[in-house]
């Protein structure tokens, strides 16, 4: 009983400390769009003698934890790389586990009283969703529908996503839009393509910060166009299920330092 009481006290103290830290950070400049390459779920699972499916499940717990921290900081948009198109090459069992997990978590997040409703978050699933199983597509349609009118923040879940595919699709859309004009001289600009990107169509602001966990230093075909000259890219050693506030704070402080340096 005493041990349980001590754990409860420790949890409450930690929660208050985190809230205080977030309030302090919120005084400085805050990025409007932060993206995460949620890498390391499988290595985390192996390291902790867990099933791969449990590693991915723990990864979704981490996403909720990090999302809530971002929302408390009033970061307007969060993008998360949940499933690359190349991930279909993994074992059928792992892909099936991921699809069922995505379905369950999307439905859970859309329920009354959950984080999307609490913080007024509109959820978008970006990618070639036609490649996903029908039951996942149904969950996507449901959660996008029930959060459509939320206007305080945006969560982009990138599933069956490839940046190269996004760019190719955006160019195709820009060309098609230009052909609809009567002007015989068709000119496609960078702005035309950028306006047709999935993130732009979803209403996302420019990308300020991209974070990849697990120590791997590559972008893996994620938001390649959106990573412009002003985007800060950070590589964190922690596996994604372990990523928390104290991994995130140095990134925000570095962003604030650079913002203050340009004033």
Q: Is the pLDDT of residue 12 over 60?
A: no
Q: Is the pLDDT of residue 263 over 80?
A: no
Q: At 243, is the pLDDT very low, low, confident or very high (cuts 50, 70, 90)?
A: very high
Q: Is 260:236 a contact under the CB 8 Å cutoff?
A: no
Convert the pLDDT of each residue in 148-170 to its tens digit: 999 999 999 999 999 999 999 99
Q: At what angle do helices 245-261 and 52-72 cross, to 10 degrees?
A: 40
Beta-carbon contacts of 224 under 8 Å, excluding residues fewer than 6 positions away, are: 163, 164, 167
Q: Is the pLDDT of residue 7 over 70?
A: no
% the chain with pLDDT above 90: 78
Q: At 1, is the pLDDT very low, low, confident or very high (cuts 50, 70, 90)?
A: low
Q: Is 151:120 a contact under the CB 8 Å cutoff?
A: yes
Which superfamily is assigned to 31-162+205-261 in CATH?
A: Decaprenyl diphosphate synthase-like (3.40.1180.10)
Q: Is the pLDDT of residue 4 over 80?
A: no
Distance, first Cα to last Cα, the chain? 54
Convert the pLDDT of each residue in 193-241 to its tens digit: 999 999 999 999 999 999 999 999 999 999 999 998 899 999 999 999 9
Q: Is the pLDDT of residue 77 over 70?
A: yes
Name the DSSP class of 120: T
At residue 182, the pLDDT reads 62
Give the helix ranges, DSSP H, for 73-110.
92-109
Q: At 11, is the pLDDT very low, low, confident or very high (cuts 50, 70, 90)?
A: low
The 8 Å CB, 24+ separation contacts for 133-141 are: 133/99, 135/99, 135/103, 136/99, 136/102, 136/103, 136/106, 139/102, 139/103, 139/106, 139/107, 140/106
At residue 124, the pLDDT reads 97
Convert the pLDDT of each residue in 17-32 to its tens digit: 677 878 888 888 999 9
pTM of the entire predicted model = 0.91
Mean pLDDT score across all residues of the chain:
91
At residue 15, the pLDDT reads 64
Q: Is the pLDDT of residue 247 over 80?
A: yes
Distance CA 79, CA 222 (A): 10
Q: Is 36:78 a contact under the CB 8 Å cutoff?
A: yes
Convert the pLDDT of each residue in 96-139 to its tens digit: 999 999 999 999 988 877 899 999 999 999 999 999 999 999 99
Q: Which helix (H) or strand (E) holds 235?
A: strand 232-235
Calculate ∠ Cα 169-167-82, nearest 5°: 95
At residue 147, the pLDDT reads 96
At residue 214, the pLDDT reads 96
Q: Which residue has the higher pLDDT, 169 or 11?
A: 169
Q: Is 238:214 a contact under the CB 8 Å cutoff?
A: yes
Domains of the chain: which residue ranges? 31-162+205-261
At residue 177, the pLDDT reads 86
Give one DSSP letter per residue of 155-205, joined into a string. Answer: EEEEEEE-HHHHHHHHHHHHHHHHHTSS-SS----HHHHHHTSHHHHTTPP
């Amino acid at each position: 009983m005493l041990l349980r009481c001590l754990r409860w006290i420790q949890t409450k103290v930690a929660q208050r400390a985190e809230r205080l830290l977030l309030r302090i950070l919120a005084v400085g400049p805050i990025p409007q769009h932060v993206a995460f390459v949620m890498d390391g779920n499988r290595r985390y699972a192996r390291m902790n003698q867990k099933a791969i499916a449990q590693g991915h499940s723990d990864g979704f717990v981490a996403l909720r934890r990090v999302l809530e921290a971002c929302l408390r900081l009033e970061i307007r948009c969060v993008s998360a790389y949940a499933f690359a198109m190349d991930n279909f090459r993994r074992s059928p069992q792992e892909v099936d586990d991921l699809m069922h997990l995505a379905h369950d978590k999307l439905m859970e997040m859309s329920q009354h009283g959950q984080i999307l409703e609490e913080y007024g978050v509109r959820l978008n699933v970006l990618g070639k969703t036609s490649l996903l199983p029908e039951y996942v597509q149904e969950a996507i349609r449901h959660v996008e529908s029930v959060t459509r009118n939320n206007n305080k923040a945006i969560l982009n879940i990138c599933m069956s996503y490839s940046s190269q595919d996004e760019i190719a699709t955006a160019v195709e859309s820009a060309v098609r839009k230009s052909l609809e004009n009567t002007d015989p001289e068709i000119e496609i600009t960078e702005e035309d393509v950028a306006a047709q990107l999935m993130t732009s169509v979803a209403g996302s602001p420019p990308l300020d910060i991209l974070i990849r966990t697990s120590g791997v230093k590559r972008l893996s075909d994620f938001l390649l166009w959106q990573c412009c000259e002003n985007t800060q890219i950070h590589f964190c050693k922690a596996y994604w299920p372990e990523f928390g506030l104290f991994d995130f704070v140095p990134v925000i402080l570095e962003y604030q330092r650079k913002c203050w340096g340009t004033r």
